[in-house]
Structure 1
Amino acid sequence: MNRLFGSSSSKPKPSLADAIASTDLRIDSIEVKVRKLDAELTKYRDQMKKMRDGPGKSAVQQRALRVLKQKKLYESQIAQLQQQSFNMEQTTMTTENLRSTMATVDAMRVANKEMKKQYGKIDIDKIEAMHDDMADLMEAANEVQESMSRAYGVPDELDEADLEAELEALGDEFEEEEGIPSYLQAADATNELPDFVDEAPQKEEVPKERLGEGVV
């Protein structure tokens, strides 16, 4: 059926990369031919240098001219093929850049849609109100801390010089108290001395009559 109706084959169409590779191969093959023609031209030139003017030299010269024309034709084909390859490479680069740009645009479109969806759930007024509430709470907490750390019964203004003098006086009092015996410290505090400091306490004498009482 395919042969009768001439339907197209199922082979995939060549890509730009395939076309560039094929063109480069053609350029390489033509360059090989050009190098062969250069070798022939060199040979003919050497022959003409050794020959005198005449029919033989003219025949060699005609062959050299034909080779030179063929070389020019090949060089023209090489230039055309190189330009074609360059154009296809530019097209490939442009296509790749467009694909990359389209992929970037698609990614940005998806990101934009997602950002709109997420930001749609955010209320700026509520956020501002929350920040204000947090600031008020922090201020209230600071006030509570200041109130809890307030000192009681301490004058607002104290002179450091007076405090240092009082501290030195306390130190002198401590040294004096350390030099006084313990049994005299209480008496020194009341400016009274016990009676037995100068004289020993005397025992009360009991009458002899009382000593004999109760003895049978």
Structure 2
Amino acid sequence: MFSHFFRKPKPEHNPIAVLDKLNETLELLEKKEDVLLKKVNAEKEKAIEFIRGKNKRGAAQCVKRKKLYEQQIEQLGNFQLRIHDQMIMLEGATVTTETVAALRTGAAAMKAVQKATNIDDVDKTVEEISQQTDNMRMIQEALSAPLGAASYFDEDELEAELEELEAGELEEQLLQPATTAPAVSVQPPAGRQPSHPVMSNPEVDELTALQAEMAL
């Protein structure tokens, strides 16, 4: 029904060109109407002059021509009315055509969007993502699993042995005797010398023997 709206218009059927042509015709009719109005006024003035000159025949001829011009003016008015009517209809048809074309463009865009976001495609994409996620989790679990002899270790046994080692270490620390503090040698303050020289052991023995002899 609207197929003729979407055909490429011929130059003579282009709405804009047709509107321009109608405007030109309307302007031409208005100019002709102005000319006829001037002729009507001129014939009216002539008829008045003939009446003043008692020329009834001449006045009648002027009135007849005046009537003919007025008929032409009436026809031009009808032509102008038809052109105005056609211009209004054509402008409305142009707006309708543009509206339908815009709606068709919007419908095509919506169709393209719906095709790109088909519900089946969305479900398929979500399923593929879920499958890839599961595969990646399985790969990570496989890579983190122990290999070789380590895979046969019992976690409970390892934990029990570790606790046993910790208990033995704690017991050994508790049974170990306390160490005595090392003797601290007393040194005289720096810059001060002892009032008496320190004698070695042989000298002390010799002095003790001498004192004993003097006491005898």
The TM-score normalised by the length of structure 2 is 0.49
